[in-house]
Structure 1
Amino acid sequence: MKWPALHWQIAIALVLAVASGWWLGDVPAFLTFCDFAGKMFLNGLKMLVVPLVLSAMIGGIGNLSESSKIGRYGLRTLAFYLGTGTIAILTGLLMVNLLHPGIVDGKPAGPLLGLDADTGKVMESVKGKGAGDMLAVVVRLVPENVFAAAASGDMLGLVTFGFLFGYFVSRLPKELHKTQRDFWQGIYEIMISIAKVVMAFAPIGVLGLVAPIIAKTGWSAFRPLAWFCVAVISALATHMLITLPIVLRVIGRVSPIRHFRAMSPALLTAFSTSSSAASLPSTLGCLETRAGVPRRITGFVLPIGANVNTDGTALYECAAAMFIAQAYGLPLDLPTQFTIVLAALLTSIGVAGIPSASLVAIALILTSIGLPLEGVGLILAVDRVLDMCRTAVNVFGDSCATILVARLEGEDGILGEKALPGRQPLRDASQDEAR
């Protein structure tokens, strides 16, 4: 018997969680099982945080040396990813601040959602973690002990270490570089395999985390979750349908409509699989055969994008952290919101291209500002639908970066457009050898 796809398993588990929470919510043995299942799933996610983020970042950045002869590609690619990623996060932050999905009838939605943590204790935790002045937040980027930072969940400093380590891996002599590259790639592949195992238990985790909420609050929990979905989808649509098309038109001087048409198969693949990694072959094919981008550019930009460019994920992580904070009734000041934005930008780089892997990063962000990890349980109830949407945004952002790099390098015929004035297309080395 073939098991249904993971997203269908989670959907079924969500239905069972609602039904069982409604009918068995007063059975102590059932609630004990739910508590056990929910904690085990959350612990599995937390277990992956440090090795997954570090191996993805170090491996991705360390591989840049293989394309050192076309360093312009790397600079332009990273500039695009960081720039659009920041805009995406700010868009999500603005939408959540405008719609206030974590506030219902002027009151925090925490009681409706079954959040048990004492707000006063959480407030003190937040103040201790990130609500100091801006300089204190920046100081946390450089930890005095990287192992202590990893053990305490201070991921801002750990991500900085990952960036520096990956950069200097790329500067090693060829033999040493290969050893380090293979080592971290191996760690990354192992973490992805473990993440798949953990996510295989996501249906049980959904049951364990959602059923007690229904048992305690009934159907009232779905109102703030519905508004959260509206906020996230509105922000994702704004970024995908307004921000990125403007970048394509103004900087790349190509038609966004033509680009949407060329990328439609890859976007459908991304939406249906919720995996940017699984969509990579389709994305490559669309850009090379339908958009006319040379393989030397797609082969460089897209693999980096699979690890670095996650606009939709970064937006979602920021919105989720803000939603949970609102549900607790925490007045987040500017430095704390800055911490969330920075953490979302940095941690999204290390998120694996597999379904629901951003839950790991969300747990990381909550830890970085002192919020309880039980808030992740709220996101699980609607994560699959939002995962499909944000993955499509991630893949579309990858394709926009590839188009932009090709156009800035003077490539002709991209989406039917002529080369930019004053720029000549770069010749492929294989063409020179053939001559």
Structure 2
Amino acid sequence: MEKLSETNGHINRYPDGTVCEMGDKEPENGSPKKQKAPAGHRCAQFLKKNAIVILTVLGVLVGVGLGTAVRKMNLTKAQMSYFAFPGEMLLRMLKMIILPLVVCSLISGAASLDTRSLGKLGGIAVAYFLVTTLMASGLAIALGFIIKPGAGAGALNSDALGIEEAVSTNKETVDSFLDLARNLMPSNLVAAAFRSHATDYTIITRNTTDGLITEKIPIGTEVEGMNILGLVLFALVLGVALKKLGPEGEELIRFFNAFNEATMVLVSWIMWYVPIGIMFLVGSKIVEMGNIVLLVTSLGKYIMASILGHIIHGGIVLPLIYFAVTRKNPFTFLLGLITPFATAFATSSSSATLPTMIKCIEENNGVDKRISRFILPIGATVNMDGAAIFQCMAAVFIAQMNNVELNAGQIFTILVTATASSVGAAGIPAGGVLTIAIILEAIGLPTNDLSLILAVDWIVDRTTTVVNVEGDALGAGIIHHLNQKEITKKQYELVDVCVEAVPNLKSEEETSPLVMHRENASDPPSVLVPESKESVL
């Protein structure tokens, strides 16, 4: 029977058709042990292996050229919407897959880990997310004081730049954090799939002996948008509960594992449409731009300061953290994630990038499925390094624009508030703009200048999203490395979930790697057939 080569997974054939593995002896007829493939064949193999990556990069470049060309045609609003339709379809497909992907992957991941491993894994992830977000916030504030993007910008206003967008900023800081806690515990799981809780206010005027008194009363409302934070927490808790059930929970665990694997198959199909969708997403955004020259010249220092912060954090700080822990080249790791980064740049959505990120980090970088499908959905929700940089830079910019000297207490407040509010920032385009109002209210700055930030958010938000997803990916890589070290040391044994084997599902290609199978319920525990490499945390 033909065997695959252990080095590259391909069958080595000699000119006479003989099949040989690496390390086999030369055939008896004296054929050479290994012949170098022709250059054309190697080039074709490279193109085939990296087809999606190459097509995605080409999609971005063609989209820029196409958008620049179509921009000169002065399309109407209706024609612009038609032009953007292929890109809109990509966004809709990616958003469609988010809910089953997040819920099923987290339930499967939590159920496949024992309590001790789950606690250790969660502790490492929380520490990584917290430290990197604080470092990002500190970097943004330092750059803000060095570059001073808001110095001399006091004359800027929305009317002069022709900005029509308005941002609702009447929300109290306390209510913003209370809404974060409320969304962690959704009252209706079905509604959480498409709505989240938000506080609104009603004004009541009462006639008292002291005269008319106006009182602002907070009332709970529901706004459009998936409550991903509540779904993440519920999925984690449900996965742990199913593991605690033992044999009674095995069937449901297997259901979510199968659902998870089927979802990843759908993601692999969607990825072939990504280059086309990205081309029209980028092109339509260029067509829809207003007076980009005026905005860049007016807010250029703020834009460049924000992007510089993203470049330093994403190109130096995060790779250094990865290298310090793993002693491996971080850029080799990141090279396998070009497609998710291009998707993040085009969509400006961490959530929409999640399906392609999970697919690529498992296939290209070999990260354990248990880890990637446990860490990445959480990271896409709570780890927002790029958003923290963007929010802190915006706060410093608005303070300098209003000639406000920030003291040590206000700087500390910005650090803490940006780190906390980035957890609740929606992983959608412009999701971080609204949370800037929380920071401004906390340090007593006016919020009427937020429309300036929103006007150029579509530029900064692209590098923001790339840094967000890069932080998640490197975090998964670090935890995978630490997990491999624990396997070597054999310090902890991970108790895998065992389910009854189904005869037509025993082949490795058709079963989930997150579970182990046993032949009969009466078999002793020693009769275990592992479907995947043992994971120890």
Q: Work out whether the TM-score is over 0.5.
A: yes
Give deviations 1:380-404, integer Å, cap 9, x for gaps.
Answer: 2221111000100001011011111
Letter in 1 for 2:128: F
Distance 1:235 1:370 in 2: 24
Partner of 1:86: 134
Structure 1 partner of 2:482: 408
In 2, Cα distance between equivalents of 1:381 and 1:90: 25
DSSP 3-state at the match of 2:340: helix
Is the Cα contact below 8 Å between 1:408 and 1:420 reproduced in 2?
no
Of the two structures, which has the highest relative contact order with CA contacts closer than 8 Å and spacing of 6 or more?
Answer: 1
Q: Secondary structure at the match of 1:409?
A: helix
Matched, 1:388 2:472: no
Q: Which residue matches 1:433?
A: 517
User: CA 1:152–1:103 in structure 2 vs 1: closer, same or farther (change >3 Å)?
Assistant: closer
**Of 149, 158, 173, which residue of structure 2 is paired with 1:155?**
173
User: In the TM superposition, what whole-angstrom CA distance separates every residue of 1:258-294 from its partner, at most 9, and x where no partner exists?
Assistant: 1111111111111111111111111001111001112
- Equivalent AA in structure 2 for residue 73 of structure 1: L
Residue 266 of structure 1, aligned match among 340, 356, 361: 340
Where does residue 446 of structure 2 map in the other structure? 372
Q: Map residues 248-267 of structure 1 onto 2, 5 A cutoff.
A: 248-267=322-341
Deviations 1:363-393 (A, max 9, x none): 2222332322221111122211110001000
What per-residue deviation string (whole Å, max 9, x for no partner) do you get for residues 19-76 of structure 1? xxxxxxxxxxxxxxxxxxxxxxxxxxxxxxxxxxxxxxxx99xx89955732222111
Which has the larger share of strand? 2
Pairing of 1:131-150 with structure 2 (within 5 A)? none
TM-score by length of 2: 0.51
Stretch of structure 1 that moved more, 278-287 or 246-255: 246-255
Alignment-mate amino acid for residue 196 of structure 2 = Y
The answer on 1:309 being equivalent to 2:380 is no
CA change 1:410–1:223 in 2 (3 A) is same
**In proportion to residue count, which structure has more helix?**
1
Structure 1 residues 427, 164: closer, same or farther in 2, change over 3 A?
same
Question: 2 CA distance for matches of 1:398 and 1:318?
Answer: 20
CA distance in 2, matches of 1:388, 1:421: 41
The one of 405, 420, 429 equivalent to 1:346 is 420
Letter in 1 for 2:414: I
Contact 1:101 1:224 in 2 (8 A): no
Amino acid at match of 1:79: A
Amino acid at match of 1:240: G
Answering whether residue 327 of structure 2 is matched by residue 327 of structure 1, we say no
Aligned to 2:195: 187
> 2:437: which partner in 1?
363
Answer yes or no: is the 8 Å Cα contact 2:318–2:471 preserved in 1: yes
Three-state SS of the structure 2 residue aligned to 1:291 is coil
Equivalent position of 2:310 in the other structure: 236
The structure number with the bigger radius of gyration is: 2
CA distance in 2, matches of 1:223, 1:401: 37
For the residues of structure 2 that align with 1:277 and 1:246, how far apart are their CA atoms? 25
Residue 98 (structure 1) aligns with: 146
Match of 2:358 in 1: 284
Q: Please, what TM-score do these two structures have when normalized by structure 1? A: 0.62
Contact 2:194/2:224 (CA < 8 Å) preserved in 1? Answer: no
Q: State whether structure 2 residue 155 is matched by structure 1 residue 111.
A: yes
Secondary structure of residue in 2 paired with 1:230: helix
Number of aligned residue pairs: 312
CA contact (8 A) 2:422 2:432 kept: yes
State the SS of the aligned residue for 1:363: helix
> Following the alignment from structure 2 to structure 1, what is the Cα–Cα distance between the partners of residues 489 and 302?
45
How far 1:181 moved relative to its partner? Answer: 5.3
CA distance in 1 between partners of 2:439 and 2:308 (Å) = 22
> Is the contact made by 1:411 and 1:425 (CA closer than 8 Å) also made in structure 2?
no
Tell me if structure 2 keeps the 8 A contact 1:296–1:428: no
Cα distance in 2 for partners of 1:239, 1:331 equals: 26
List gaps (5 residues or longer) in structure 2.
Answer: 1-62, 72-101, 161-168, 198-221, 228-284, 498-513, 519-528, 530-537
Shift of 1:353: 1.2
Q: Is the 8 A contact 1:103 1:224 kept in 2?
A: no
Counterpart residue identity of residue 195, structure 2:
I
Q: Could you tell me which residue of structure 1 aligns to residue 208 of structure 2? A: none
Q: Is the 8 A contact 1:409 1:426 kept in 2?
A: no
Alignment correspondent of 1:73: 121
Q: What percentage of residue pairs aligned between the two structures are identical?
A: 29
Contact 1:410-1:425 at 8 Å conserved across structures: no
CA RMSD in angstroms comes to: 3.9
Structure-2 separation of matches of 1:380 and 1:240: 23
Aligned partners of 1:251 and 1:404 also within 8 Å? yes
5+ residue gaps, structure 1: 1-6, 16-58, 117-150, 170-176, 196-202, 413-418
